[in-house]
Amino acid sequence: MRTVIIEQIYLGCLSQASYVVADEATGQAAVIDPRRDVDEYLSYAADHGLVIKWILLTHVHADFVPGHTELAAATGAQVAMGEAAPVSFPVHRLADGERLALGDPGSGVVLEVMATPGHTPESISIAVFEHGSDAAPHALLTGDTLFIGDVGRPDLLGASGRTAQQMAAELYRSLRAKILPLPDDVLVYPGHGAGSACGKALSSETFSTLGQQRRSNYALAPMSEEEFVAAVTQGLAEPPAYFSEDVALNRAGHLPFDPATPVPGVTPAEAVRRASQAALLLDVRDDQSFAAGHLRGAVNVGLSGRFAEYAAAVHTPGQEVILFGTPEQVEEARLRLARVGVDSVTGAVTEPGALVDDPALVASSSRLDAGQVDRHIRGLADIQVVDVRNPGESAEGALPGSVNLPLPRLLGDIGQLDPERPVLVYCAGGYRSIAASSLMEANGFTDVSDLLGGFGAWATANGSAPV
């Protein structure tokens, strides 16, 4: 007879996994690391006759704002974190080894807290016992401590006074002392999958067993602490700049988000005026539509890609946001921005057809194919070629003379470039480059183009990958 319910709710656009764990007999449930829009958890609980008693956060997240505030308001459930959590909002602080019974403590589902510092000092993993009297857990919810194929980054803590090497050493000890002694058949459910910036080599698989990870995860191979520290701290990609803002917000606590609140409409002229006064005019259409015609001063981050993290990267803390797109696109964009803590959307232009009504408000983008880029570079001695890919991507090949300024850090590094000189921007395929080129134009650059098809198109046209 089934006793334990473990439901993974995966959010592909953030590569983020949250969980509903429940005792089927009693209907008592816990939600682990919920996202900010909480209707899916409420619907699942209602459909399965569950009562949410606990909301558990495995650590202070850097990449998204969790929905504990919203879910607690809707359910009255208790929010809990590891006892070392550096937060200023009320939480139940969970001691290492503390048990939370969702059913009978002996025969029902029990959650046991495991302190597993390393990704952050307060990180916990949660062992799920199908029966409280079992000798070993049925599953392990590892948060950002252990991923499928990887482990959590030790360098995302910011100004905590700890180095990445110190955190990696703590992670080594957590894995060896707490997780690796468990049996091979324990199911492993991580907090993220492939694409997340919280690790460097995450698998596309969203769950595994500890035995499989013992055999295939490089970080669990037999090695000394020194070897582990070296392995997990090398080759780390540039973290998105907004991570530090989310850490601050997640430590302080956030106001509830209501996705049903409408976004006020504004005219194109008003949107352009506000953009000229430091608002972020964010065009969420695809890159081709944007390039063909957009409101002056707009920055393009399309919903088709990893919208939230790149939109947050072109946004400064507290900056007013005006959205441009269809009503459906605006609604989705506002939700996805809220998931990463951008709550300053104050208006939207929801009729893209309005672009034809006042040509004076409209601009187009310069996009060059690989052949045009060759002529452009040869013809302009003072051109600045900017590669907005991550350093690991650039190491595999780059356009001659280019400087690497990854998009997640471009807003802070834009002062390294001369706004009066021509600029050519490129990435892997074009999604990030038009975001970067439009960001530069919105910040006063007068001659900016991006490479259609990105470095892949360049390498194909040239028959190689120049470096």
Distance CA 394, CA 403 (A): 10
Does residue 248 belong to any structural domain of this protein? yes
pLDDT band at 160 (very low <50, low <70, confident <90, very high): low
Encoded tokens for 390: 């991550």
Number of domains in the chain: 3
Domain at 433, CATH number = 3.40.250.10
Q: Is the pLDDT of residue 367 over 50?
A: yes
- 98 in the same domain as 62: yes
Range of the domain at 209: 4-252
Across 118-141, b (16+ Cβ under 10 Å) vs e yields bbbbbbbbbbbbbbbeeeebbbbb
Domain boundary among 228, 252, 276: 252
Residue 1 has pLDDT above 60, yes or no: no
Flag whether 259 is in a domain.
Answer: no
- 166 and 148 co-located in one domain: yes
Q: Could you tell me if 299 and 336 lie in one domain?
A: yes
Same-domain check for residues 342 and 374 = no
Q: Are residues 154 and 247 in the same domain?
A: yes
Residue 370 within a domain: yes
- Give the domain CATH number at 82: 3.60.15.10
Residues 188 and 283 in one domain: no
**pLDDT tens, residue by residue, 286-334:** 999 999 999 999 999 999 888 999 999 999 999 999 999 999 999 999 9
50 occurs within a structural domain: yes
Considering the domain architecture, whether residues 291 and 166 belong to the same structural domain is answered as no
Of 222, 252, 282, which closes a domain? 252
What pTM did the predictor assign?
0.92
pLDDT averaged over every residue in the chain: 94
Give the pLDDT confidence of 217-256 residue by residue, as tens digits: 999 999 999 999 999 999 887 788 889 899 999 999 999 9
Last residue of a domain, one of 363, 391, 416: 363
Is 260 inside a domain boundary?
A: no
Q: Is residue 422 assigned to a domain? A: yes
pLDDT (tens digit, 9 = 90+) per residue, 21-74? Answer: 999 999 999 999 999 999 999 999 999 999 999 999 999 999 999 999 999 999
